[in-house]
Structure 1
Amino acid sequence: MTMRLRSLLVLSAVAAAAFVVVAEEPAHAATLPTGARSLEAVNQAGRYVRHADHLARIDPVTSSSANQVKLDATFTVVNGLASPNCYSFQTKTGLFLRHRDYRLRVDPNTGDATFRADATFCAVDGSVSGSVALTSYNYPDRRIRHRDFALWLDAYQDTATFRADSSFRLAAPWAPRNTKGPVLPGLFADPHIAVFNGRYYLYPTTDGYAGWAGTYYKAFSSTDLVNWTDHGVILDHGPDVSWADNSAWAPAVASANGRYYLYFSGGAASGSTAKQLGVAVADSPTGPFRDALGRPLVRADQFAGGQTIDPMVFTDDDGQSYLYWGQGVARAVRLNADMTSFDPTQARVVTPAGYNEAPFVFKRNGLYYFMWSEGDTRSEDYRVGYATGSSPLGPWTARGVVLQKRLEVGIRGTGHHSVVRAPNSDTWYIAYHRFAVPAGNGTNRETAIDRMEFNADGTIRPVVPTL
């Protein structure tokens, strides 16, 4: 298939998107295709948005161009860092397209509010059918425009020349899929993986925010763990949760009573910085979810010691579900049949040696596995340890570290994992986050999945993280 034909296929999808108006944001396309794309100037055929020495411009790119040129002209389209209704554009090296002093460039994501806004753009109709123009999130009267082949953020002018200079075609990516890429496009951490009705689902923390101050959760699904469908935002703390408006961390989803329950951590942007646990409910694994209680499921002050984050639910063969949570101290309690309440007098501390956060429990061949993350998520030494036991509440026998960094291939900070069994098999997978390769850190993380295998005695073989 030629580059032009592939481009037209992408364009046809974009042209079919509906347009909506969101309060305090410019009119924008309801959907743009996420994933790797290149952007061609509509009035400079063969010239594509490209970064060179961090500055953005439009340059010629052809099939005979150097690989580096093709890489520099390829971006991953992700939900906007400042608004999930808009878009951000990430380079193959993990930088983001942003404006600074009205000049377009690519820079490392600092995660602060200013950077997020500078790196977020909303899509509107371009000058020709199927093309798009990109308005600034924080300067909605300005659009990305090329002048003398350099890219600037210029005030909108109602002229044919300006509309053409600010319009781009979304084309198939010049660079092939990055073998070092994550399973999800963009920055996502703390992935919870599950199987519902024979299909895999991933529920991660949306990453890339200073202080991990993201506000919303997304859902992705797949039949093969390779090709993932983006189902969009399933819960947003801002409009959907009355008691939390930031710190949307580490979700987990369980199925019961013919419904789906999303357990999540949340905090307030003002007042106390303490985090609390909530639960939301939906009729579909892709939501939309609504806050089931209108208040926290577990309050920050309800139990002494540890931080109230990182919920996880395990349901045993008899149908009894257990809630686990905590940073610094691990707690567990039986959930009532409604999945939204429990007897707090029955909560118990189950903290194993080496535990820091992210508890995860599963069962295989009658043996229970209690797993967790050790160290700080900002450290390259962040890793996964585990123990085994005879019941969902222990007692537990420590088994050691099962997943850790591989510096020789640039993999760091492997942790906050979850585990899933392939339907009707004894094949298991572990989903986890790592520092984004190659330039990530503890707030710029990406999601990976690898096989997890067992020895004959039921112990887990060390997982070798792969690119």
Structure 2
Amino acid sequence: MARRARACAVSLLVLAASLTLPGTAHAVTLPTGARSLESVNLPGRYVRHADYLGRLDAVTAAASAQVKLDATVTVTSGLASPSCHSFQAANGMFLRHRDWRLRLEANTGTALFREDATFCAVAGSVTGSVSLTAFGHPTRRLRHRDHELWVDPVQDTAQFRADSSFRITAPWVPKSTRGPVIPGLYADPHIAHFGGRYYLYPTTDGYAGWAAPYYKAFSSADLVDWTDHGVVLDLRPDVSWADDSAWAPAVVAKNGRYYLYFSGGATSGDTGKHLGVAVSDSPTGPFRDALGRPLVRAGAYAGQAIDPMVFTDDDGRSYLYWGNGAAHVVPLNADMVSFDPAAVRTITPSGYREATFVLKRAGTYYFMWSENDTRDEDYQVAYATGPSPLGPWTKRGVVLRKRLEVGVKGPGHHSVVRAPGTDTWYAAYHRFAVPAGDGTNREVAIDRVAFNADGTIAPIVPTP
């Protein structure tokens, strides 16, 4: 009941933002990525931050590089709701309201911060413009007053409608061609290739305690331009046994369907994490809980029941891997939602922390994992090789590690995909968001994976 009540509360907030209020008619979805916001009634003035306070200032081609940068934000999925939006500055901080004034602050991951840094877009006072409603206060909107930016109660006046309307324009500072590959805070990316497209399934990041409740899916034809397909599984309304801790998903195609393996925890006093499995007829969902109960219950095996991964061998047999602190593997039954508990094997290599990934190339099996803690800048990826999906495994060393000279910290929890019909491979992984991220403010990057002539993996070079 509590889970449904929370979901309804979020729905009501989004609905309130889309009601017909002064100058609006419907909710609006903003384009994500680098953008600038120009005032409707004061053309040439843009939303920017100065001394960590939100302002509306003139920006021209002759403006300094810093002013242009301060007037550029990355539009991301809302920290509090994927139906709304957040605005991230180049220094990694987010625009949020506090005491009704717009400010620039680092994301603490608390529920209050996420709400204050999330805005729902509705149609503005003129065609093509938008107004931004405060997520937690749907009767207040972002508006400029004496060139300062405030979140004020909606007023049914022409002046307020104009002061609270903005045009979304091309950014004063274009997006870098480097990472992250999807805007916003995401981690633990699972990358796969289905039907001619690449798909990314990450953990939604930016929550204190990694308490995110839902998963999104993204797809691309070229690993460069990604389409956001929205939420594909939300634990709160869709899973009866879990409310939060939607961690580290993995998706596999089998039997003409798509199976999403996921972690979940409950807020009702059950502090353990379980593994579940959901199923869909499409790689972009929606996915439904296949069992109505966990596939692997917390405490059934050593370590935490998190970080699932499924590898399917050339003979069609699929294997489920999981674990934090201890690594486990078991062949899945043909239905992909059950296994023989007696067949579970523990295969923990030295240095293992979590995030198993297994691939096969040229007859060799590669068992990969993350070492240290995801909050540690020394989080990194190591690997071993073996003759079968069950090993035995020979450790080969670390293959992905930090690059402090370019600001990359904590690269890990990766997955690997091969470009179909080639020997070209890519790793998707998370790292601390550049430049101001940490273990709960992470972003997704993709880099090439190269193999040496002897079959070992060359060091993966993380790009900034």
TM-score, normalised relative to structure 2: 0.94
Query: How far does residue 376 in structure 1 lie from its aligned partner after superposition?
Result: 0.2
**Structure 2 counterpart of 1:39, one-letter code:** L
Contact 2:17 2:133 in 1 (8 A): no
Contact 1:30 1:85 in 2 (8 A): no
In the TM superposition, what whole-angstrom CA distance separates every residue of 1:282-339 from its partner, at most 9, and x where no partner exists?
Answer: 1111111111111111111322x20010000000001100000000000000011111
Secondary structure at the aligned position of 1:23 is classed as: helix
Q: Count residues with an aligned counterpart.
A: 446
1:189-204 map, 5 Å? 189-204=187-202
Q: CA deviation at 1:30?
A: 5.2
After TM superposition, list the pairs within 5 Å mapping 1:43-442 onto structure 2. 43-179=41-177, 181-303=179-301, 305-442=302-439
Aligned to 1:463: 460
How far apart are 1:84 and its partner, in Å? 1.2
Aligned residue type for 2:141: R
Instruction: Select the residue among 31, 54, 65 that pairs with 1:33.
Output: 31
* Residues in 2 aligned to 1:337 and 1:27: alpha-carbon distance in whole angstroms: 46
User: Following the alignment from structure 2 to structure 1, what is the Cα–Cα distance between the partners of residues 28 and 236?
Assistant: 19
TM-score of the two chains, using structure 1 as the length reference: 0.94
Answer whether contact 2:79 2:117 (CA < 8 A) is retained. Answer: yes
In the alignment, the residues of structure 1 paired with residue 84 and residue 219 of structure 2 have an alpha-carbon distance, to the nearest angstrom, of: 21
> What are the superposed Cα offsets for residues 34-80 of structure 1, whole Å, 9 maximum, x if unpaired?
11111111101011100111101111112222221111111111111
Take 2:100 and 2:17, find their aligned partners in 1: how far apart are those partners?
A: 21
Q: 1:136, CA displacement in angstroms? A: 0.8
Question: In the alignment, what sits opposite 1:17?
Answer: none
Letter in 1 for 2:200: L
Please tell me the residue identity of whatever aligns with 1:370: F
Secondary structure of the residue that 2:334 maps to in structure 1? coil
Aligned-partner Cα distance in 1 for 2:336–2:69: 47
Cα deviation for residue 268 of structure 1 reads: 1.0
Give ranges in structure 1 of 5+ residues lacking alignment. Answer: 1-20
SS of aligned partner of 1:248: coil
CA displacement 1:112-152 (0-9 Å, x = unmatched): 11101110111112111121111111111111010001000
Task: Please say which of residues 177-186 and 307-316 is displaced more in the overlay.
Answer: 177-186
Secondary structure at the aligned position of 2:69 is classed as helix
Distance 2:327 2:90 in 1: 38
Q: Which consecutive residues of structure 2, in runs of 5 or more, have no partner in the other structure?
A: 1-9, 19-26
Q: Distance in 2 between matches of 1:147 and 1:353?
A: 60
Query: Once the 2 structures are TM-superposed, how far is the Cα of residue 180 of structure 1 from its aligned partner?
Result: 5.0
Whole-angstrom CA distance in 2 between matches of 1:134 and 1:181: 27
| 1:228-279 deviation line (CA, Å, top 9, x unaligned) | 1111111111111111111110010000010101111011123111100111
Computed over aligned residues only, the root mean square deviation of the Cα atoms, in angstroms, reads: 1.1
CA contact (8 A) 1:131 1:169 kept: yes
- 1:23 to 2:7 alignment: no
Mapped contact 1:92–1:178 kept (Cα < 8 A): no
Residue aligning to 2:4: none
Aligned to 1:249, the other structure's residue is in SS state: coil
- Partner Cα separation in structure 2 for residue 134 and residue 209 of structure 1: 22
Question: Quick one: distance in 1 between partners of 2:162 and 2:343?
Answer: 66
1:182-208 per-position Cα deviation (integer Å, ceiling 9, x unaligned): 011011110101111121111101111
Q: Which moved more, 1:383-392 or 1:457-466?
A: 457-466
Secondary structure class of the residue paired with 1:266: strand
Partner Cα separation in structure 1 for residue 391 and residue 213 of structure 2:
34
Kindly provide the amino acid, as one letter, of the partner of residue 77 in structure 2.
N
Quick one: which amino acid aligns to residue 153 of structure 2? A
Identity of aligned residues (%): 73
Amino acid at match of 1:151: L
The aligned amino acid for 1:307 is: Q
Amino acid at match of 1:278: G
- Whole-angstrom CA distance in 2 between matches of 1:460 and 1:180: 23
